[in-house]
Chain A
Amino acid sequence: MSQSNASLREPQIHSAFVGRHIGPREVDKREMLGILGLSSMEELIDRVVPGSILENEPLALDASCTEQEALQALRRLAHMNKVFKSFIGMGYYGTFTPPVILRNVLESPAWYTAYTPYQPEISQGRLEAILNFQTMVSDLTGLDIANSSLLDEGTAAAEAMALCRRMSKSKSNTFFVSEICHPQTIEVIRTRALPMGYRVVVGDHRRELDGLELFGVLLQYPGSDGEIHDYAEVVSTAHEKSALVAVAADLLSLALLKPPGEFGADIAIGSTQRFGVPMGFGGPHAAYMATRESFKRSLPGRIVGVSIDSRGDPAYRLAMQTREQHIRREKATSNICTAQVLLAVMASMYAVYHGPDGLRNIARRVHRLTTVLAEGLRQLGFEVMTRHFFDTLLINTGERTGQLHEAARVRGMNLREVDGKRIGISLDETTTIEDVTALWSVFGGGDLNPTAMAASAGDRIPAGLARSSRFLTHKVFNSHQSETAMLRYLRMLADRDLALDRAMIPLGSCTMKLNATAEMIPVTWPGFCDIHPFAPAEQTQGYSELISELERMLCAVTGYAAVSLQPNAGSQGEFAGLLAINGYHQSRGEGHRNICLIPSSAHGTNPASAQMAGMKVVVVNCDSSGNIDIADLTAKAQKHSLDLAAIMITYPSTHGVFEESVREVCRIVHDHGGQVYIDGANLNALVGVCYPGRFGGDVSHLNLHKTFSIPHGGGGPGVGPIGVCEHLQPFLPGNPLATAADGAVGPVSAAPWGSAGILPISYAYIKMMGRDGLLEATRSAILNANYIAHRLREHYPVLYTGPNGMVAHECIVDLRPLKESSGITVEDVAKRLIDYGFHAPTMSFPVAGTLMIEPTESESKAELDRFCEAMICIRQEIRAVETGTLDAEDNPLRNAPHTIAELTDEEWQHCYSRAQAVYPVAALRAGKYWSPVGRIDNVYGDRNLVCSCPALSEYADELA
């Protein structure tokens, strides 16, 4: 083609995004291949991927499109969704995201590209934000300690049930759920109770508790129907039975209502969605849980605590990780891995911005409008069945019900379809008096006078349940009410952190790839944001096309027959996948199969999920090359042949290797009647190269927040869809608004499509990469990992490789020999990397004392080189310790990270220079990330557990 023709049209425009997404240029790739002794990307893949599973057919996807075309396609879908004013309620409400938070948190890569704060020194900003979240929740609920955060209100309620079981002294296996809990909450609880063997009784808390033995009770406050009940008596009845009481509470209502902690509740849970987080057709939003201090070891999810750093200054860290699955595996308190940190940050900032008075005013206004609405409806002759309410009314509409819904929709409004005779209406902070007038006109009273109605409408909160205690008294909630103050606070926090917008985050098994701006932009469009999860299907055509198209794309990528997008985290996907396996065995009269084989190298979520699904974990050994020990597998599969339910494997393995024997592993398990679960955490090495659904997997979960570009958000949101072969399709998770039929699987999330609001990200990614771009991404990820392994190999042992000496998309470097020779630990190296401007690779997983490095395809050769140079310089520093040139204790590794505070001390305290401490490589002088705190003292944090904002006096000390 001549130059003049080529410039008018493709191909360069159409493949442009692929080149933006993938870091190394063509010339870099050739150079890197050359260094590895390879001539082409094809040869690279042939060397790395076993021939027995490698496929050469192109992905069944379209060619790549441009960013503009992808945005245009998504704009069309967004327009196909009809944004109605939502009065549906049920835990999802209209809210105004303060623009300063929208732009500087939700739309800011400093927040959304950050990783989970396992490295606390470089995460102080978001740790403070989520400590604010915990303080906000614990203040509003009146309970001692709160986590940050859970996936949605339904799963939070299920976690509350599990907490009740752990802490209750009752021998009963019955959990009582009030019938005025949100219906989707009840269904999620049923799903979770089933494999644990709990009996769920749903009924009227006023009548049906007597005579029941039970370990826990779940109440809704205010009820899903709007009614506010005084639960004090129920609480004492339950406590007499040694049962614990969990209350699902609406956080905004607690600005006006007596908090659950003050009427004796043991646990409070709920959603923080209406604190400025868009509905997004069901998610993502952060749920919360708070409980008594004495139950802290049983509290699921992450908990931020306050500790001190190496200089004794206050610093934050993740506390009590000893509860979690990455430490405790199947004994873990819960299986919350990716939570909803970005959304928790938004909700906490909403509270910081509005402050206690602002929240109270919002709550009062919502309540006031609801009382006015109720008064008008009463005068129009409708029976308002709710006596005491905050923002929700239940109206007896009898025969006119259908007609009223119709009238509302004509006016662009959705009301809650309770049943054929009753309608629910929930107001929120976006409701105006004009909306109330419009609602009256639906009910035939367009001419009602709001002022007159207001005059005769009284407060409807029961006197005994009005809130008298103060909340959000901490300075942080009382200092940022101007936008300037808020803007600077957000900037100050973001500047403390190291996210992908500053440097490579080479975390093995976490796939921290580019989250492209074009992928992120549609997420905040009203056509995707402002849709209630239970809006009528005819209003959500855009979403339904997006979802079915994305499901089709993911089927093409994985080789499975069907996909469910409902699980809103990887752990949820694992749980859903195992439930599908349970369902399948049951359908064949083999429901007794309950043994789950798990290789010793598995991620901790695998055994924790198996435990939740009611399976018994049997560990399969790995051989010295890190592969599944086939002899051990065969022996265990044989031994448990009659009871074998499944094996859970990760592919490529968590050791970063394409195991040659994967087909054989699958065959052995199938031969003994088991199903094969392939954990998709490492799918980034497979896309376009081989297909889990074709080399032996029956079901896999994928992490859209790893392989398909959804950002990590500092610890969520995530999406963990599952793909299944045809025979498991009938056992995909069910609809949260319907009780699952016998033999079918119930919902695992509160919303039908989980975190639907962020699906446009993965949709855009796949469209813009196209079939060839996705394959090129996989190849480049594998190339980058092998390049790093090659460069580091002469400095550090690379622990596991395939038969050709190659790694997959990540590599493990072994630091244990260096600990022997120098006393320098993996933690020292990780913290020293901060001085060089890097987030550490994954520490001590899957092997303690090692670092696992995953560069992804998005990092350029220049960045890989910068990282390798840092690692090599660190090796030289270790050598200096080995030879005695550097002191064994007082050396730059042990003391890392170095802070400005330390550098500007009157007397420099160390026996190496300031320059060596902070500018170990010259390039850092041109631009450097400074750790805001020194190394954090974990033991101090353990001994002094503080999980809410420290008292003002401590702040004063800090400032002094």
Chain B
Amino acid sequence: MNKYLIITVIGADRPGLVELLARTLVAHNANWLESRMANLAGRFAGMVEADVPEANFEPLVEALEKLQADGLKVMVDGGLAEPAEDSFREAQLELVGQDRVGIVQEISSALARHGVSIEKLHTQSESASMSGETLFRARAELRVPNDLDMEALQQSLELLADELMVDIDLQRQTVG
């Protein structure tokens, strides 16, 4: 039986960080499933989903925590069960609007109110073509309850700002 875990790492960016992490996983026969990595303001930040044979779980966690010595802060959320099929469907969300403090929090709380969870979220702020105003762009993969009124979700998001443009595309396939 395998155990699932989410590993969050952060540290000053330098070559070899991903390799270090990968080596640690391989050494414990853990399987690197999916990951998101980014360099933000000179810091390397990443999230890795992995599974590991139950017997290796504790040693892996210990080994990961020791990476602190190499300048990598690691947090492990372990002991997760395999994600179950459920009554959710996947949707793509795209947003563009004026950037402002708290916009991510406002969006995520609107989503949470409708029972929507965020699978992936990519945000950026950019200088708008022509006017140069600072725009916020987000692209997210959502898990949406099957019975959710999508129009109500759209309206809740649009209420956040007059200039926020919201596109939600429902996909037919289930999360896999």
Give chain A's interface residues, CB within 8 Å of chain B.
116, 118-120, 296-297, 318-323, 326-328, 331, 604, 825-827, 830, 840, 842-846, 848-849, 938-939, 941-943, 945
Q: Of all chain B residues, which has the CB nearest A829?
A: B132
* Distance to closest chain A CB from B145 (angstroms): 22
Residue contact A327 to B162, C-beta cutoff 8 Å: no
A-B contact pairs, 16 of them (CB 8 A): A116-B130, A319-B162, A319-B163, A322-B98, A322-B165, A326-B129, A825-B132, A826-B132, A843-B131, A844-B126, A844-B127, A844-B132, A849-B126, A849-B127, A942-B98, A943-B161
Residue contact B131 to A318, C-beta cutoff 8 Å: yes
Which residues in B have their C-beta under 8 angstroms from that of A830? 132
Which residues in A have their C-beta under 8 angstroms from that of B122? none
Which residues in B have their C-beta under 8 angstroms from that of A842? 130
Residue contact A326 to B133, C-beta cutoff 8 Å: no
Within 8 A of A (CB), among B116-155: 126-135
* Distance to closest chain B CB from A564 (angstroms): 28
Kindly state the separation between the CA atoms of A604 and B129 in the bound complex, as whole angstroms. 9
Q: Is B167 an interface residue (CB 8 A)?
A: yes
Which residues in B have their C-beta under 8 angstroms from that of A318? 131
Kindly state the separation between the CA atoms of A120 and B167 in the bound complex, as whole angstroms. 28
Which residues in B have their C-beta under 8 angstroms from that of A846? 129
Which residues in B have their C-beta under 8 angstroms from that of A845? 129-130
* Distance to closest chain A CB from B92 (angstroms): 12
Residue contact B97 to A942, C-beta cutoff 8 Å: yes
Q: Is B96 an interface residue (CB 8 A)?
A: yes
Kindly state the separation between the CA atoms of A600 and B147 in the bound complex, as whole angstroms. 38
Residue contact B130 to A844, C-beta cutoff 8 Å: yes
Give chain B's interface residues, CB within 8 Å of chain A.
96-100, 126-135, 158, 161-165, 167
Partner of B161, one of A323, A825, A827, A942: A942
Residue contact A843 to B163, C-beta cutoff 8 Å: no
Kindly state the separation between the CA atoms of A614 and B133 in the bound complex, as whole angstroms. 31
* Distance to closest chain A CB from B68 (angstroms): 29
Partner of B129, one of A848, A939, A941, A942: A848
From A320, A826, A843, A938, name the one whose CB has the most chain B CB atoms within 10 angstroms: A938
Q: Of all chain A residues, which has the CB nearest B158?
A: A297
Given the interface contacts A322-B135, A327-B96, does A843 sit within 8 Å of B161 by beta carbon? no
Residue contact A321 to B131, C-beta cutoff 8 Å: yes
Which residues in A have their C-beta under 8 angstroms from that of B132? 118, 825-827, 830, 840, 843-844
Which residues in A have their C-beta under 8 angstroms from that of B100? 939, 942
Partner of A322, one of B126, B127, B130, B163: B163
Kindly state the separation between the CA atoms of A116 and B129 in the bound complex, as whole angstroms. 13
Partner of A843, one of B97, B127, B164, B167: B127
Q: Of all chain A residues, which has the CB nearest B165?
A: A322
Given the interface contacts A320-B163, A322-B97, A322-B164, does A938 sit within 8 Å of B133 by beta carbon? yes
Q: Of all chain B residues, which has the CB nearest A603?
A: B129
* Distance to closest chain A CB from B152 (angstroms): 14
Q: Of all chain B residues, which has the CB nearest A326?
A: B129
Kindly state the separation between the CA atoms of A845 and B127 in the bound complex, as whole angstroms. 9
* Distance to closest chain A CB from B161 (angstroms): 5
Q: Of all chain B residues, which has the CB nearest A851?
A: B132
Residue contact B134 to A827, C-beta cutoff 8 Å: yes
Kindly state the separation between the CA atoms of A885 and B134 in the bound complex, as whole angstroms. 26
Given the interface contacts A322-B163, A942-B98, does A118 sit within 8 Å of B127 by beta carbon? no
Q: Of all chain A residues, which has the CB nearest B99?
A: A939
Kindly state the separation between the CA atoms of A326 and B158 in the bound complex, as whole angstroms. 20
Kindly state the separation between the CA atoms of A941 and B98 in the bound complex, as whole angstroms. 10
Residue contact A321 to B162, C-beta cutoff 8 Å: no
* Distance to closest chain B CB from A367 (angstroms): 39
Which residues in A have their C-beta under 8 angstroms from that of B127? 825-827, 843-844, 848-849
Which residues in B have their C-beta under 8 angstroms from that of A849? 126-127
Residue contact A331 to B167, C-beta cutoff 8 Å: yes
* Distance to closest chain A CB from B39 (angstroms): 12
Partner of B96, one of A322, A848, A945: A322
Residue contact B133 to A827, C-beta cutoff 8 Å: yes
* Distance to closest chain B CB from A645 (angstroms): 24
Which residues in B have their C-beta under 8 angstroms from that of A604? 129
Given the interface contacts A827-B132, A844-B129, A848-B127, does A938 sit within 8 Å of B165 by beta carbon? no
Which residues in A have their C-beta under 8 angstroms from that of B161? 942-943
19 further contact pairs, Cβ within 8 A, besides A842-B130, A845-B130, A941-B163: A119-B131, A297-B165, A318-B131, A320-B162, A321-B128, A321-B130, A322-B96, A322-B135, A328-B165, A840-B132, A843-B127, A843-B131, A843-B132, A844-B127, A938-B134, A942-B161, A942-B162, A942-B163, A945-B163
* Distance to closest chain A CB from B76 (angstroms): 33
Partner of B98, one of A826, A840, A939: A939
Given the interface contacts A328-B96, A942-B97, does A118 sit within 8 Å of B165 by beta carbon? no
Residue contact B98 to A938, C-beta cutoff 8 Å: yes
Kindly state the separation between the CA atoms of A296 and B159 in the bound complex, as whole angstroms. 12
Residue contact A844 to B97, C-beta cutoff 8 Å: no
Kindly state the separation between the CA atoms of A327 and B137 in the bound complex, as whole angstroms. 10
Kindly state the separation between the CA atoms of A845 and B128 in the bound complex, as whole angstroms. 8
For the complex of A and B, list the 10 residue pairs with the smallest distance between their C-beta atoms, beginning with the closest: A843-B132, A945-B162, A827-B132, A844-B127, A845-B129, A942-B98, A942-B163, A118-B130, A938-B133, A326-B129
Kindly state the separation between the CA atoms of A119 and B133 in the bound complex, as whole angstroms. 10
Kindly state the separation between the CA atoms of A119 and B129 in the bound complex, as whole angstroms. 12
* Distance to closest chain A CB from B72 (angstroms): 24
From B126, B130, B167, name the one whose CB has the most chain A CB atoms within 10 angstroms: B130
From A118, A825, A942, name the one whose CB has the most chain B CB atoms within 10 angstroms: A942
Q: Of all chain A residues, which has the CB nearest B161?
A: A942
Partner of A327, one of B99, B128, B134, B167: B128
Which residues in B have their C-beta under 8 angstroms from that of A331? 165, 167
Kindly state the separation between the CA atoms of A957 and B144 in the bound complex, as whole angstroms. 47
Q: Of all chain B residues, which has the CB nearest A297?
A: B165
Which residues in B have their C-beta under 8 angstroms from that of A116? 130
Which residues in B have their C-beta under 8 angstroms from that of A328? 96, 165
Kindly state the separation between the CA atoms of A327 and B161 in the bound complex, as whole angstroms. 17
Kindly state the separation between the CA atoms of A825 and B127 in the bound complex, as whole angstroms. 9
Kindly state the separation between the CA atoms of A119 and B134 in the bound complex, as whole angstroms. 13
* Distance to closest chain A CB from B94 (angstroms): 8
From A321, A326, A328, A846, name the one whose CB has the most chain B CB atoms within 10 angstroms: A321
Kindly state the separation between the CA atoms of A898 and B99 in the bound complex, as whole angstroms. 24
* Distance to closest chain B CB from A509 (angstroms): 10
